Amino acid sequence: MQDLLNHPAVQGGIAPFVVGLIVALAFAPARLAGLAAIAGFAVTVWLVGGFSFTPLTATRKIILVSLVAAGTGVCADLAFKPTRASGAVLGVLFGAGAAWVFWTVLSQKSMQDALLMGGGVCVLVAWLVAACHMLRDAPVRAGATGLTLGLGVGIASILAASASFGQYGMAVGAACGGLLLVQMIRGRTAAAGATLTVAVGATLGLVAGGAFMLAELPWIALPVLALVPLAARIPLPSGLPVWGEAILASILGGIPAAAACFLVWQSSRGSAG
């Protein structure tokens, strides 16, 4: 059993998918099916290395901020009425949090590199949180965004020589796949809200930033990955069943995600040559 749990496919794919599926089913009546994303991420963190926050490295800060993002999303859904400014405010907060996450890395670089790299990652996290949050009332599209963005970040990170970040990204994608499957099977949506969108945006933004800062993810992949939430919002024919909307939204979101992975693959081939 231990050998099975140590297999990367189980840790980053099967386990978070199953957990996401169960959590989505269990919490759908409470309108908190969006907890599937952070639950899947958490089980992968536990299987990969467990929860330990000392010393507080950049990777451990990513895990901590991801948990905070999920809690913030729950509070936003249960205690606050969303406004047009909600996504922007949350984006700015978690974008600033990205500076704290990578501070020790940035402090070792020149001022120019620190501003360019740190600023770019902060903008990426802020954008993904705000853009994903715009899908809070569209749970099928939000689930498709989490699925395709998670797989895109995960596969790109693996191609960039970071297995751990790859597993974390794919875990979020797999868990969102579980949420998406629940909606497809039931034939109706399951409210995901900020519980899903804030966690997905913050977690995957930070994981992508980590692969860029600490591994070999080329910077060009980041703006392409940032297009995934926009692609998932492209209008679809009206009257589609849930399963149809889920498939089409996933295809649309998968296009920029696949493009980002292709760019990383091309870059790795160039580096190898």
Share of the chain above pLDDT 70, in %: 96
Tens digit of each residue's pLDDT (9 = 90 or more) over 228-257: 999 999 998 888 899 999 999 999 999 999
Tens digit of each residue's pLDDT (9 = 90 or more) over 84-110: 788 889 999 999 999 999 999 998 888
Looking at the structure of the chain, the number of domains it has is 1
Question: Angle at CA 122, nearest 5°, toward 92 and 24?
Answer: 70
* CB count in 10 Å sphere of residue 262: 14
DSSP state of 232: T
Cα–Cα dist 261/153, whole Å: 8
Tell me the residue range of the domain where 115 lies: 2-272
pLDDT at 273 over 80: no
66 pLDDT band, cuts 50/70/90, is very high
The residue behind tokens 């860029």 is: 212
Cα–Cα dist 55/48, whole Å: 17
Mean pLDDT calculated for residue range 196-202: 95
Contact call for residues 168 and 154 (beta carbons, < 8 A): yes
State the sign of the Cα–Cα–Cα–Cα dihedral 32, 253, 170, 177: positive
Residue 233 burial (CB < 10 Å; 0-12/13-18/19+)? middle
Contact call for residues 44 and 18 (beta carbons, < 8 A): no
Cα–Cα dist 52/45, whole Å: 10
Inter-CA distances, 60 with 41, 179, 197, Å: 13, 26, 21
Cα–Cα dist 79/93, whole Å: 18
4 pLDDT band, cuts 50/70/90, is low
Pick from 132, 109, 126: which is nearest to 213 by CA? 109
Mean pLDDT calculated for residue range 29-46: 92
Contact call for residues 167 and 48 (beta carbons, < 8 A): yes
159 pLDDT band, cuts 50/70/90, is very high
pLDDT at 5 over 60: yes
257-261 contacts: CB < 8 A, separation 24 or more? 257/148, 257/149, 257/151, 257/152, 257/225, 257/228, 258/152, 259/224, 260/152, 260/156, 260/221, 260/224, 260/225, 261/152, 261/155, 261/156, 261/159, 261/221
